[in-house]
Structures are given as structure tokens and as C-alpha cells.
Amino acid sequence: MCCSFGRTILTATILFASTSGVRAECIRAWKDAADAERRSTIVFSGTVVALKGDPDGLFATFDVQRVWKGNVARRLVLPLHVDLDTFRLVEGTSYLIFSDQLPASDPRALRGPTETEPVFYIGVCSASRQLTNVNERIHELGKPHGPRK
């Protein structure tokens, strides 16, 4: 009896140690780029020119090149909610972005970097990717339009 308990603890410890470095996989809520577009508030391509951290989120500034959905300006400052499942942005990198505006009733909107503007979210499981990896996705989206001046 005493020894089987010890083996159980040892087995559990080994199992934990061997799986602790494993990262969970995303479960996509979208079928293709067109479906991801329908589910998003804004869809655009652009380069991150500035990231300004805030205790409650992040302000990401983009130079926008193309827009598929939303009223997006050429220079876009996007207030973002940030958590462990947030898509990571890097300054100077170009992306295809699928972002959701958080409803005011969502508790995450209250923890955003601003109280006066809508707060957005880009999840790691979204269709957002670096622009170098999205040729097929861009083709699925169809013809873009330019950003607002």
C-alpha cells in the first residue's frame, strides 16, 4: 500500500514534468478567411510602427495599407486588451489583422487601456498572421479598399 502511493506520486511528477513545456493548440472558431472576416469587427493589413504599453492593455499604432472590413484610418491607434491569449505584435512587422471590438458589457473592455474609446482584442487563435505568411488568406478575402485618409 505504501509503495503504490509513492509510485503514483512519482508517475504524476514525471508526467507533469514532461508535459509542462507543451503549448495548448488553438481551436479555430472560423472556417476560412471569409468566415474570419464575418466574425471580426475590422480586418486590415498594416505595419506596427509603435507599441505603447499600459497597465491595462496596449496601444498599437499601425500604418495601414489595405482594408477589407471596417472604417480604418491610414494611421490607426488600436487600443487592445492584453492577456495570455493575445496575439503578439512586434514593432516594424507587417500583419494581416482580424480584430474584434469588445462590447462595453465585456469585463475585458473595462480592463483596456482607455475608458473613452472602444477596446479591441486580437486573439492567438484569430486569423491574424504576419503578412509574409498569408497569401492564401488574402486571396480568400477578395479585393481590399484603401484606408481612410
Q: What is the mean pLDDT of the chain?
A: 82
| Architecture of domain 24-141 in this structure | Beta Barrel (2.40)
Domain positions in the chain are 24-141
- Chain segment 44-58, per-residue pLDDT in tens: 999 999 999 888 789
147 within 8 A of 73, measured Cβ to Cβ? yes
- Chain segment 14-46, per-residue pLDDT in tens: 333 333 444 456 766 788 888 999 999 999 999
Tell me the β-bridge partners of 129.
96
Residue closest to 34 by CA, chosen among 98, 86, 101, 129:
98
Task: Output DSSP code: residue 105.
Answer: T
